[in-house]
Amino acid sequence: MLADVLPYLCCPHCSAGLTADAGSLRCLSGHVFDVARQGYVNLLAGKAPVTGDSAAMVAARDEFLSAGHYAPIVAATVAAASGDGCVLDLGAGTGHYLAAVLDTSPSRVGIALEIAKPALKRAARVHPRLGAVGADTWQRLPVRDGVISVALNVFAPRNAAEIARVLAPDGRLVVVSPTPAHLAELVSALDLLTVGEDKAARVSASLPGFDVSTRDDCEFTMSLTHDEVLALVGMGPSAWHVNSESLRSRVVALPSPVSVTASVTVTSYVRGT
C-alpha cells in the first residue's frame, strides 16, 4: 500500500516529503496528488507523455507472467535483489517481479514506478507492501535521495543519474536484459525486434558511474501454445511493430506446442568509487 512507501516518496515539484490526507498525498508547499480508487497515485511533475503500454499489452503480460513461464527469470531476479530495505522497480509493469522480491522478507517494502495506467491499476493490488506510483522514469523520480536499497530494472529503460541519486550508499541496481538468443525461434518466424550482439555492453555503457558487481545468465526453454506465443509477443516491444492479423496467421503456421528459448542476463551494479 502507498502508506508503506510514503516515507520514501517526495513531491515531484519541490522534492518535499509527502503526507497522506483524506484520499490524497500532499506536501508542505501545497502540492496535492489524488490517490486513484484503484490505490495508485500519479506523481508526475508535468503532463504525462503519450507513452506506456496499452491495456492489451498489460493484459497479455499479466496473463503470461501469471502462468509462470518466466519463473526462472523471476527466481534469478529475486536472488540478485536479496537484502532488506525499500526496493524500487523502475518501469515495473504489473509489479510481478517486485512482488516476488517482497515475498522474500516481511520487512521489505516496494515502490512500483510505472507510466502506464493499466499497469498501475494491476500493480497497486499485486502485493500488500507495494505502493504503485505513476512517474516518468526519464524525469526526476519522486523518490527521496539515498533511500533505496535495491533498484530493479527488468526489460525497462534506465536513468543512471536518477538511479544513483535515490540509491543508498550501499545500494545496488539489478538489471535484467535480453541476450541475442532471447526468443530466437520467434524472431525470424514472426518478424520480431532483434537484440544486438553488443546488448550487454550497451547496457553497461548506459550506466556511467556504476560498476558491475555480479553477472549471471539465465537461459531455458519454454513449451508454448499458440495463444501463449501471442501473449508473449503482445506483452513486449514488438507489439508496437507487428500487424495483429499478420502475426496471428504466422503463429498459426507454427508447430504446437512451440519450443522457445528465454535468455537473459541478470547484472548487479554498484556505484563506482
pLDDT in tens, 77-98: 999 999 999 999 999 999 999 9
**Is residue 142 a part of any domain in this protein?**
yes
Most confident of the following: 42-56, 136-150, 231-245: 136-150
Please report the pLDDT score of residue 198 as a whole number.
85
Comparing C-alpha atoms, which of 8, 271, 266 is closest to residue 142?
Answer: 8
Please report the pLDDT score of residue 48 as a whole number.
57
**Is residue 180 a part of any domain in this protein?**
no
**Is residue 13 a part of any domain in this protein?**
yes
Per-residue pLDDT for 67 more than 70? yes
CATH number of the domain residue 9 falls in:
3.40.50.150
Cell output for 269: 551494479
pLDDT tier, 191 (very low <50, low <70, confident <90, very high otherwise): confident
Please report the pLDDT score of residue 145 as a whole number.
97
Q: Mean of the pLDDT values across residues 53-72?
A: 93
Domain membership of residue 45 as a residue range: 2-172+197-217+265-271
Q: How many structural domains compose the chain?
A: 1
Per-residue pLDDT for 183 more than 90? yes
- Entry pTM: 0.94
**Is residue 259 a part of any domain in this protein?**
no
Per-residue pLDDT for 149 more than 60? yes
**Is residue 121 a part of any domain in this protein?**
yes
**Is residue 227 a part of any domain in this protein?**
no
Please report the pLDDT score of residue 249 as a whole number.
87
